[in-house]
């Protein structure tokens, strides 16, 4: 009887799932929004913006942000008003419980909702959206725990309060990217805050980038002896995780798109994005156009865990980053073929059609992290107890895929033009101001400075010399 049940189940799955091929006439951003605004996965849980209220969490925030961008790009669509209403109800009713970097990501929805409420004349609701965004920004400015002197990387955000002195690539997309959008919208002249954002990227790139492999390790710890996953000398984690680099690449592109061009760190951030773009292009699977869960391997068998696999969320994030980066002149249009192969590969490798016509995204890594028994080695990323493949449209694949689709669709419009490629103009392109043990601490008039010899940096107030 069990064998019969298994056979029947496999037949049902085969009938319900139909792999699709890329169709240039389909607006995938709107299709995925319509199909999943009422149902997507956050790990094993089903979330919906149509019934109930999704929790304050970075995954619903990621999905809502992508769908709100769809509303803005297709403001004349018949569905847009209905979708705006659902997101506005959620954004205004949910309380922003911001206790770590991940939680700030949900605050990104308030920028689109602020513009929406202003446009329709709801000034009180617009003010509420601005206030909630400010609450998230104040966490980063005043409450987020940081690495402290004399540890290396002083001033870097802890990924979470329970992960002391740890910086993960993920955190740049959650925290720094939100902070940049807040400043861009509401406090563009806050130089100290822009300095703070640059410091996060400077520190993480310095400590996680492997110049030989042209990839960033998933995380770094300023006190390696305190964790079981860090290299005792470098503090780096052991592997190059696909989605980790996806978060980082997307964060760089998003932040640069809003960062003040006259700031001394502007072209330095661009240099990071260009190095990441080069490294990732060399790891793209030539046949599918996608990327693997573990970037430095192909379909290698790891211990008893089986083979490394092509992963959807990382592929979607890379497609988005390449497309947007080219559009804005941040990276070269030499990556056009890379971006096209990534976007079309995402659809043809991971998107299937259900019997009712809805689209489902498969092959997404459900979760991954470090510490608490998670060693961060290759075996963990392939068969850790919390690292499983989700085939039911997990939000961390859905949001980036919609964003990649929006970029692809925008660039397919007949009147589209790329921005000019941006050439560096600052001589200090590769001289980031980060704290290493060689720098010395100074206190002047109650302020905390780090002196680098030729430059003095107030860690919360910017360069002063």
Cβ atoms < 10 Å from Cβ of 41: 23
User: In this structure, what is the dihedral angle of CA atoms 331, 336, 340, 342, given to the nearest 10 degrees?
Assistant: -50
Question: How would you label 299-314 residue by residue, b for 16+ Cβ within 10 Å and e otherwise?
Answer: eeebeeeeebbbbbbb
As a whole number of angstroms, the distance between CA 186 and CA 106 comes to 17
Supply the CATH number for residue 233's domain.
1.50.10.10
Strand locations in 115-181, DSSP E?
166-168
Q: Which residue has the higher pLDDT, 12 or 162?
A: 162
- What 8-state DSSP symbol labels residue 158? P
Residue 278 located in a structural domain: yes
- pLDDT per residue as tens digits for the range 309-337: 999 999 999 999 999 999 999 999 999 99
Residue 267 located in a structural domain: yes
Residue 54 located in a structural domain: yes
Strand locations in 300-339, DSSP E?
none
- Judged against a pLDDT cut of 70, whether residue 2 lies above it is answered with no
User: From residue 41, how far is each of 22, 79, 225, 321, 364 by CA, in Å?
Assistant: 24, 22, 36, 23, 11
The band of 195, judged by pLDDT with boundaries at 50, 70 and 90, is very high
Residue 439 located in a structural domain: no
Q: Are strands 166-168 and 389-390 parallel, antiparallel or unpaired?
A: unpaired
**In the numeric block, which tokens belong to residue 206?**
């310095």
Percent of the chain having pLDDT more than 90? Answer: 83
The band of 436, judged by pLDDT with boundaries at 50, 70 and 90, is low
- Judged against a pLDDT cut of 70, whether residue 460 lies above it is answered with no
Query: Is residue 174 within 8 Å of 99, Cβ to Cβ?
Result: no
- pLDDT per residue as tens digits for the range 265-314: 999 999 999 999 999 999 999 999 999 999 999 998 887 888 999 999 99
The band of 434, judged by pLDDT with boundaries at 50, 70 and 90, is low
Name the strand (E) or helix (H) holding 323: helix 312-327
- pLDDT per residue as tens digits for the range 157-186: 999 999 999 999 999 999 999 999 999 999
Query: In the chain, what are the helix, strand and coil shares in percent, each to the nearest 5?
Result: 45, 10, 40
Please state, rounded to an integer, the average pLDDT across all residues of the chain. Answer: 90
Q: Which residue has the higher pLDDT, 278 or 77?
A: 278
Query: Is residue 159 within 8 Å of 167, Cβ to Cβ?
Result: yes
Query: Is residue 246 within 8 Å of 318, Cβ to Cβ?
Result: yes
The band of 431, judged by pLDDT with boundaries at 50, 70 and 90, is low
Residue 452 located in a structural domain: no
**In the numeric block, which tokens belong to residue 260?**
């003040």
**Within 13 A of 218's CA, how many CA atoms are on the CB side?**
27
Whole-prediction pTM:
0.90
Q: Which residue has the higher pLDDT, 302 or 382?
A: 382
Q: How many domains does the chain have?
A: 1
Query: Is residue 449 within 8 Å of 464, Cβ to Cβ?
Result: yes
What is the rounded average pLDDT of the residues 87-102?
96
pLDDT of residue 98: 96
Residue 465 located in a structural domain: no
As a whole number of angstroms, the distance between CA 303 and CA 297 comes to 13
Residue 259 backbone zone (phi > 0: left; psi -120 to 50: alpha; other: beta): beta
User: In this structure, what is the dihedral angle of CA atoms 414, 349, 308, 407, given to the nearest 10 degrees?
Assistant: 20
Question: How would you label 54-71 residue by residue, b for 16+ Cβ within 10 Å and e otherwise?
Answer: bebbbbbbbbbbbbbbbb
Residue 205 located in a structural domain: yes
Residue 458 located in a structural domain: no
User: From residue 213, how far is each of 221, 283, 291 by CA, in Å?
Assistant: 20, 10, 15
Sequence-separated (6 or more) residues with CB below 8 Å from residue 301: 307
**In the numeric block, which tokens belong to residue 355?**
């019997």
The domain of 72 spans 20-145+155-419
């Amino acid at each position: 009887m069990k064998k019969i049940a298994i056979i029947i189940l496999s037949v049902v799955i085969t009938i319900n799932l139909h792999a699709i091929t890329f169709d240039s006439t389909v607006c995938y951003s709107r299709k995925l929004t319509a199909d999943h605004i009422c149902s997507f996965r956050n790990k094993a849980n089903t979330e919906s913006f149509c019934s109930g209220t999704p929790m304050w969490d970075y995954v619903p925030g990621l999905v809502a942000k992508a769908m709100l961008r769809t509303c803005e790009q297709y403001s004349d669509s018949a569905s847009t008003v209905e979708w705006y209403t659902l997101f506005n109800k959620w954004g205004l009713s949910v309380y922003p419980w911001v206790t770590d970097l991940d939680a700030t990501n949900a605050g990104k929805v308030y920028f689109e909702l602020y513009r929406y409420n202003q446009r329709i004349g709801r000034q009180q609701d617009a003010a509420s959206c601005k206030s909630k965004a400010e609450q998230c920004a104040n966490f980063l400015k005043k409450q987020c725990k940081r690495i402290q002197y004399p540890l290396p990387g002083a001033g870097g955000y802890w990924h979470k309060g329970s992960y002391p002195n740890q910086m993960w690539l993920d955190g740049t997309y959650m925290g720094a990217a939100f902070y940049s959008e807040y400043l861009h919208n509401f406090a563009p002249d806050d130089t100290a805050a822009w300095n703070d954002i640059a410091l996060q990227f400077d520190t993480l790139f310095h400590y996680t980038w492997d110049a030989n492999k042209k990839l960033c390790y998933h995380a770094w710890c300023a006190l390696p002896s305190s964790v079981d996953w860090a290299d005792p000398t470098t503090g780096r984690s052991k592997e190059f995780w696909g989605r980790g680099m996806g978060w980082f690449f997307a964060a760089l592109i998003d932040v640069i798109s809003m960062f003040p061009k006259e700031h001394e760190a502007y072209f330095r951030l661009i240099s990071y994005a260009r190095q990441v773009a080069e490294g990732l292009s060399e790891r793209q699977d030539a046949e599918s156009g996608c990327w693997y869960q573990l970037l430095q391997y192909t379909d290698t068998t790891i211990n008893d865990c089986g083979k490394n696999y092509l992963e959807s969320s990382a592929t979607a994030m890379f497609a988005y980053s390449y497309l947007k980066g080219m559009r804005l002149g941040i990276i070269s249009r030499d990556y056009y073929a890379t971006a096209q192969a990534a976007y079309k590969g995402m659809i043809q490798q991971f998107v299937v059609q259900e019997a009712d016509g809805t689209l489902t995204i498969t092959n997404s890594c459900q979760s991954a992290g470090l510490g608490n028994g998670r060693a961060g080695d290759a075996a963990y990323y392939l068969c850790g107890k919390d690292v499983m493949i989700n085939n039911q449209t997990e939000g961390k694949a859905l949001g980036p895929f919609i964003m990649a689709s929006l970029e692809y669709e925008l660039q397919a419009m007949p009147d589209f033009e790329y921005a000019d490629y941006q050439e560096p103009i600052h001589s200090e392109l590769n001289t980031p101001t980060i704290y290493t043990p060689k720098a010395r601490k100074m206190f002047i008039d109650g302020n905390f400075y780090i002196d680098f010899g030729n430059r003095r940096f107030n860690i919360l107030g910017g360069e002063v010399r």
